[in-house]
Structure 1
Amino acid sequence: MHEERMKKQTVAVVALAFAGAASAQEVVKIGHASGVTGPVAYFGKDDENGARMAVEALNARGVVIGGKKVRFELVAEDDAADPKQATAVAQKLVDARVNAVVGHETSGTTIPASKIYHDAGIPQISPASTSPKYTQQGFNTAFRVVANDIQLGRALGGYAVKGLGARRVAVVDDRTAYGQGLVTEFSKGLQQQGATIVAKEFTNDKATDFSAILTKIRAANPDLVFFGGMSAVAGPMLRQMKQLGMNVKMMGGDGICSDEIFKLSGGTMTDGQVVCAEAGGVEEAGKPALDNFRAAYKKRFGVDVQIIAPYSYDAVMAIAAAMVKAGSAAPAKYLPELANIRYKGVTGEIAFDQRGDIRDGTITLYTFKSGRRTVVAVTK
């Protein structure tokens, strides 16, 4: 009798163990990393919110992978837009056995983290980093859903000359992977159009005083200042340009392409003074889907989309589509499907080239009126 009871208890324990294992297999963990604190937290939170919306949408839909209904879970980490913190976060996500990673937000955090994901065989899609170096490392796990700085820099260089009539340009970078990469590619695009770089200066991504470099730039008499960096630095720089009587235009990439720049300039930024480019954007046919996304986002989070949210949303959705096609959420099994995916997202078609870059990536040029972003053009 005692032996029979022991057998039943053993069977029950084993059954519970198997039930637990089955339950664990039905959870698909999507890792996410961005700087939700620090100087670019408004971008980081936007990034995370987009991924969260996708996970909620997938769970509401009831996704089946390999004949089993699964539940997606977002494992969100804060890298504070700091490269050292990014590698610690990457290892944490690997240790949490995530099935995929969406992130990181900046090139300076994405590049060092990407090696950790690659070594662990975990696919990673960055929804925002634009440095060409990220996909030039040869990692088959690295993808991005936005155009890179080669495309962005050339588009900005062309527009500086053709659209703004700039002939004498000063360039400043913030010494980050993103800032330096963008200035390098912009300079190539600018010089191809026959314009001249009259001053080259640099600062850092935490600087607040630019009087020394701006005094040098003012002496070079440029008709445009190009800044490779983020709004947190560009805003105060614009304020100090105004104080020095420099009434010239500023141009930059997606790092300064947020309404935050007007607030950070202390309201000194004038209409049309700043022109920036966002890696991404939709052409006319895709506007209704993106408008619907923006409305749903505002309803869910109570704030407007900054830039990154629709791209992080599409990144999660593309990963889920690859898992469904492969019939598995195991990284090694769905990775080939992800590499060959063709997914129609809210930002356009998600399809990657052999390096992991987005195919036919679009670029949107903006200026600001009354402190609000206004589209100038969508180009490829």
Structure 2
Amino acid sequence: MSTTIKLIAAASSAGILLAGNASAQDLLVRIGHVSPLSGPSAHMGKDTEEGARMAVDELNAKGVTIGGKKAKFELLSEDDAGEPKQATTVAQKLVDAKVNGVIGHMNSGTTIPSSKIYSDAGIPEISPSATNPQYTMQGYKTAFRVVANDGQLGGTLGRYAVQMLKAKNIAVIDDRTAYGQGVADEFVKGATGKLASAKIVSRQYTTDKATNFSAILTTIKSTNPDLIFFGGMDAVGGPMLKQIKQLGLKVKFMGGDGICSTDLAQLAGDAIGEGNVICAEAGGVEEGKKADLVKFKANFSKKYGHEVVLNAPYAYDGVMTMVAAMQKANSAEPAKYLPELAKINHKGVTGEIAFDARGDIRDGTLTLYTYKGGKRELIAVTH
């Protein structure tokens, strides 16, 4: 090799080393995100992904530092299609990619089995939407959620159905998923417990991919209910409402956060009715504290060109809460920031975020909605 070539090679090598040293000053923080990005609930899964991505984009724009190093945040988003088996596969993929934390999963049925994989790897996981109590009852120190659980949500809806809607004869349908069955069971407890006295006249089951409900609705019609509760998602709830109308069933229709999306009115068409559907979001901000959430929703719409579907603000808060814990710990290493996450008190767009010993959000709120004029309309925020 000639002297000239050697000098060029040496200079190139030095340049590479310098570039390497410069980039080494940055701290790469990989945040995993998992939701159904395909299948019937893809619109809701995309909503959580967009909420998480919005947080990551804002953090990168601010130039956040962790332990004296400028952090560069990267979102690794995976699709679990709402399927438990696929969920565990992508969870392991994120573990293998050495993510620093995970926002997800969206569904209880995917979050629960995946949580063991993250726990075994010591990676903190914050679900923006999984409400089944079992998720945080497994004893995993890495499992957190930023929304109320089914015990709070289903129970409140059950009592509301009896005390406020005066429902006496109730039919219950669930989609047999961990979420759908869980929220339906808690609703039944709330509607038939000490503070309420409804009669469950029919208990029916479907799937999270069903489109034809004529058999179970015909059975329900014969029991003359005044309210139907559905434990499931809006992609099934919308078509179900259409078939309820076609059968001439004059009933109130109620569900949990799975149906409580801005898309339900479009999925149900004119079967949505006026004030006929009541649902609850597992979260919400009380009057007088909504400025940050209103601002978030406006910024979200400006960024993506459409409204929040349901859980985007909770995914956004999940990322921001996780990063706040990293900053307090001066480290993005899971083992180092996990203790800070467990005792965090973070002001999010969805309210104050702090966790109890299980990883459930403290003082979780619920927001009751109905639909009028094809739009979701607030009824009340409650605890």
TM-score above 0.5: yes
Within 1, Cα distance between the matches of 2:172 and 2:266? Answer: 23
Question: Contact 1:286/1:347 (CA < 8 Å) preserved in 2?
Answer: no
Question: Contact 1:207/1:233 (CA < 8 Å) preserved in 2?
Answer: yes
Question: Contact 2:101/2:334 (CA < 8 Å) preserved in 1?
Answer: yes
> Any gaps of 5 or more consecutive residues in structure 2?
none
Alignment-derived partner of residue 52 in structure 1: 53
Alignment-derived partner of residue 271 in structure 1: 274
SS of equivalent to 1:26: strand
Give yes or no for the alignment of 1:281 onto 2:280.
Answer: no
Within 1, Cα distance between the matches of 2:102 and 2:114? Answer: 10
Give yes or no for the alignment of 1:203 onto 2:206.
Answer: yes
SS of equivalent to 1:293: helix
Question: Contact 2:148/2:364 (CA < 8 Å) preserved in 1?
Answer: yes
Q: Name the aligned partner's letter for residue 203 of structure 1.
A: T
Return the TM-score normalized by structure 2: 0.94
Give yes or no for the alignment of 1:110 onto 2:77.
Answer: no
Within 1, Cα distance between the matches of 2:124 and 2:186? Answer: 27
SS of equivalent to 2:289: helix
Alignment-derived partner of residue 127 in structure 1: 128
Give yes or no for the alignment of 1:179 onto 2:169.
Answer: no
Equivalent residues in 2 for 1:220-235, closer than 5 Å: 220-235=223-238
Within 2, Cα distance between the matches of 1:121 and 1:21? Answer: 27
Give yes or no for the alignment of 1:377 onto 2:380.
Answer: yes
Change in 2 beyond 3 A, CA 1:199/1:343 = same
Of all paired residues, the percent bearing the same amino acid is 62
Per-residue CA deviations over 1:35-58 (Å, capped at 9, x if unaligned) read 122111111111011111111111
Per-residue CA deviations over 1:326-354 (Å, capped at 9, x if unaligned) read 00000000000000000000000010000
SS of equivalent to 1:320: helix
Per-residue CA deviations over 1:105-164 (Å, capped at 9, x if unaligned) read 110111111111111110000001100010011100000000000000111011101110
Q: Name the aligned partner's letter for residue 41 of structure 1.
A: A
Per-residue CA deviations over 1:354-374 (Å, capped at 9, x if unaligned) read 000000000000000011100
Alignment-derived partner of residue 299 in structure 2: 296
Within 1, Cα distance between the matches of 2:62 and 2:264? Answer: 38
Q: Which piece of structure 1 moves more, 165-174 or 267-276?
A: 267-276
> Any gaps of 5 or more consecutive residues in structure 1?
none
Within 1, Cα distance between the matches of 2:63 and 2:23? Answer: 20
Alignment-derived partner of residue 308 in structure 1: 311
Within 2, Cα distance between the matches of 1:160 and 1:99? Answer: 43
Change in 2 beyond 3 A, CA 1:16/1:121 = farther
Alignment-derived partner of residue 258 in structure 1: 261
Give yes or no for the alignment of 1:31 onto 2:32.
Answer: yes
Within 2, Cα distance between the matches of 1:318 and 1:259? Answer: 25
Within 2, Cα distance between the matches of 1:135 and 1:55? Answer: 26
Question: Contact 2:262/2:308 (CA < 8 Å) preserved in 1?
Answer: no
Question: Contact 1:122/1:331 (CA < 8 Å) preserved in 2?
Answer: yes
Question: Contact 1:206/1:233 (CA < 8 Å) preserved in 2?
Answer: yes
Within 2, Cα distance between the matches of 1:17 and 1:295? Answer: 39
Q: Name the aligned partner's letter for residue 131 of structure 1.
A: N
Equivalent residues in 2 for 1:308-347, closer than 5 Å: 308-347=311-350
Change in 2 beyond 3 A, CA 1:18/1:210 = same
Q: Name the aligned partner's letter for residue 50 of structure 1.
A: G
Displacement after TM superposition at 1:243 (Å): 1.3
Q: Name the aligned partner's letter for residue 361 of structure 1.
A: G
Displacement after TM superposition at 1:13 (Å): 9.6
Question: Contact 2:262/2:310 (CA < 8 Å) preserved in 1?
Answer: no
Equivalent residues in 2 for 1:60-99, closer than 5 Å: 60-99=61-100
Within 2, Cα distance between the matches of 1:139 and 1:10? Answer: 49
SS of equivalent to 1:336: helix
SS of equivalent to 2:45: helix
Displacement after TM superposition at 1:259 (Å): 2.9
SS of equivalent to 1:138: coil
Displacement after TM superposition at 1:236 (Å): 1.1
Question: Contact 1:32/1:74 (CA < 8 Å) preserved in 2?
Answer: yes
Question: Contact 1:259/1:371 (CA < 8 Å) preserved in 2?
Answer: no
Within 2, Cα distance between the matches of 1:310 and 1:254? Answer: 14
Question: Contact 1:280/1:362 (CA < 8 Å) preserved in 2?
Answer: yes
Q: Name the aligned partner's letter for residue 286 of structure 1.
A: K
Q: Name the aligned partner's letter for residue 320 of structure 2.
A: M
SS of equivalent to 2:52: helix
RMSD: 2.1
Give yes or no for the alignment of 1:150 onto 2:128.
Answer: no
Within 2, Cα distance between the matches of 1:291 and 1:125? Answer: 23
